[in-house]
Chains A and B, each alone.
Chain A
Amino acid sequence: MLSFILKRVGLAIPTFIGITLLTFAFIHLIPGDPVMIMAGERGLSPERHAAMMAQLGLDQPLWTQYGHYIWNVLHGDLGTSLTTREPIWSEFVPRFQATLELSIVAMAIALAIGIPVGVLAAVKRGSLFDHAAITAALTGYSMPVFWWGLMLIMLVSVQLDLMPVSGRVSAAVFLDPDNPLTGFMLIDTLLFGEEGNFLDALHHIMLPAFVLGTIPLAVIVRMTRSSMLEVLNEDYIRTARAKGLSRLRVVVVHALRNALLPVLTVIGLQVGVLMVGAILTETIFSWPGVGRWLIYGLEQRDYPVVQGGVLMVATLIIIVNMCVDILYGLADPRIRHRRGRN
């Protein structure tokens, strides 16, 4: 078991190094002089130019620069934002918390709806419900997330006036920064907020989370359904039925438990989908998360922000994929003991 985990971790390291090479190359791939681009239209005096080159280490040989870069990255130093002059890391953390909160709620919605619908569609295969579920799932899977968000804002927020259009909480909500805030609005408002603040935060998160969760929801419905269909044909299901267990028990306890394994992998793979979705969803709903931060960085040509943000997102995905692989190995010994090339 330990060797399996070590092997998986070992596989992730070259990928991480590759990503650092990629993000390092990013600054050098921008055509022209990065310092001049960062300076913008104002331009720079030659002395200031040289000073900035030295400050950014751009006057040194490439491999020294890369050495410095990776040394800094491993020490949590991702550089400084050009627009705010704040360290990238301290900009990243609160935004990541916002994105994480949104993603968790999105995933919770997707799982809470997706698994029951997928199971029911498989059990009632060929029924009207099954057809409706497949059609809805394929539509959701094909959905342009940004348009979906716009439509829901138009319908739910503007026409029906049921949900707020943007932000994490109403401007009136005040959270005392002296409290040990977690950065997760739902938790903070519950622990330290006034009455009604938690509901306010919940109100704000529901719509963007539903939009962000739409594609994972569609994928989970499709995956759960096909995985259940496969499992329901197995001999042990027939045995369980034959020995007189109730239909519900067979479906939920015997079939679903075995059908969930492929669904688990899919959930892991959705992290990338969530990050892309977050870029679009956060832009529409003005959610102060990593996605909107990256778009802002790209628009403002704040290259250190883009460089650091991309590195963090990629690292997150590598780690999650690694964890899913390891969990998969824990759940299914056949994978753990498989040898050689796939």
Chain B
Amino acid sequence: MNTTATTAIPAPPGPFKSFWQDFRRNRGALIGLYYIAAMLLIAVFAGLVAPHDPSMQYRDALLQPPAWLDGGSWRFVLGTDDVGRDILSRLIHGARLSLLVGFLVVSVSLVLGIFFGVVAGYAGGIVDIAIMRLVDIMLALPSLLMALVLVAIFGPSIVNASLALSFVALPHYVRLTRAAVLREMTCDYVIASRVVGAGAWRQMFVNILPNCLAPLIVQASLGFSNAILDMAALGFLGMGAQPPTPEWGTMLANVLQFAQSAWWVVTFPGLAILLAVLAFNLMGDGLRDALDPRLKV
């Protein structure tokens, strides 16, 4: 073998490419991602995609079964509910609502959670103890119960429910951020930048925070699924979106009476919730596998 082995060492892939290569290998995560992308498109163009107005009541077509059953018609593909509203259109508009709620809840809790987490981890001492004690107290209450109580105080509406869900999601982000910050604080680059005179704010949010993002991205994805699930539960209990809002959980309130006569009224909204939550959980699992360096190699 006298051919000079000049197999050039390929340049290491950039962080995003490396992540994408890992993420792509996970079939479940990809399915989740595609489902979410499709849901997003449908949600954005809900007005165009939906065959009917979600609150339009067709009095001539009460409790009409889905198209493929006897008595169904392609006018109402998934059938109609007890006041003659098209279920498919309501589900499509519900997707918009669920994604909006998820986005609102995740961004509010993420921003506040990162802030308190970074401050607790960086400041240490009494500030850390005070913040973490509060977090412990919040974690002692089941999240949905606390959200219910908050909604009871401020009145049931979709905005109040979203804010309540943001509040109850906070402690998880605070904990995660703090743990990541504590890990980073011992790194050389943090000490080095302190030596050259970086101030506390710069240290916290410019130097340390970007290195703590991986677990937060994973948690944010799971936060989406929690928010959708809890909002549906609140809606089901009458404490979230109020009828006639086409929210998936609200659509399931008081439907038990149709268990015998009109299964489609009960089945499809729940299936929409389950699939959306499943998609975010699948993506979250994939993100964790791709982003968590401890699982690599």
Residues of A at the B interface (CB closer than 8 Å) are: 14-15, 18-19, 22, 26, 29-31, 138-139, 141-148, 150-151, 153-154, 158, 272-273, 275-276, 279-280, 283-284, 294-295, 298-299, 301, 306, 310, 313-314, 317-318, 321
Contacts and interface: CB of A to CB of B under 8 A. Distances in A.
Contacts of A294: 145, 148
Contacts of A298: 148-149, 152, 239
26 contacts: A15-B133, A18-B133, A18-B137, A22-B137, A26-B149, A138-B282, A144-B229, A144-B232, A144-B233, A146-B232, A146-B249, A147-B252, A151-B266, A153-B256, A154-B266, A273-B142, A276-B144, A279-B148, A280-B236, A299-B238, A306-B152, A310-B145, A314-B140, A314-B141, A317-B140, A321-B140
B221 to A, nearest CB: 13
Given A150-B266, A158-B260, A314-B141, A142 B152 contact: no
Nearest to B156: A298
Nearest to A17: B137
Contact of A30 (B140, B153, B260, B277): B153
Interface stretch (B46-54, B65-73, B267-275): B267-275
Interface centre among A19, A146, A275, A306 (most CB of B within 10 A): A146
A254 to B, nearest CB: 25
Interface in B238-283: 238-239, 249, 252, 255-256, 259-260, 263, 266-267, 269-270, 273-274, 277-278, 281-282
B105 to A, nearest CB: 16
Contacts, number: 121
Interface residues of B, number: 42
B140 A150 contact: no
Nearest to B136: A15
Given A26-B149, A139-B274, A15 B140 contact: yes
Given A147-B273, A318-B140, A153 B237 contact: no
Contacts of B239: 298
